[in-house]
Amino acid sequence: MTFLPQPCEPCEPCDPPGCAVLALPSEIDFCNASGLLPLITTAVEQRADGLRLLVLDLSATRFMDSQGVRLIAAVRRRLPDRTLLRVVAAPRGVPSRVLELSGLRRDVPVHDDLADALRP
């Protein structure tokens, strides 16, 4: 299955000025993680002039392994200094637990829902 991260439509309230929200697929693993990075990078570059916040929405992601952790870490390293990264993950979901066990939660804020992640 091919996945393209989709930013929220500009008219939706989840995409305020200076913010990009990318919904990630239901599974992130060895099969698709390497292909997601260039797609996310392209989305960031398209908004580079005014992007202050990038939110990776894992709320629909049911499975994620260490490749998902590596993906998020790589995105974080590639973001401009002025751009914050936040992640949305269901509190009892696999991605949230993987982020906790990997220690990435210490470096990247993980929120329970999109509204919380978009708060200043």
Mapped onto helix, strand or coil, the DSSP state of residue 88 is strand
Prediction pTM value? 0.86
End-to-end CA distance of the chain: 35
Placement of tokens 């005014």 in the chain: 50
Rounded to whole angstroms, the Cα distance separating 27 from 12 reads: 25
Helices (H) and strands (E) in the chain, counts: 4, 7
Q: What is the pLDDT along the chain (120 residues), one digit of tens a residue?
A: 344 455 443 334 446 789 999 999 999 999 999 999 999 999 999 987 889 999 999 999 999 999 999 999 999 999 998 999 999 999 999 999 999 999 999 999 999 999 999 998
Max CA distance (Å), the chain: 36
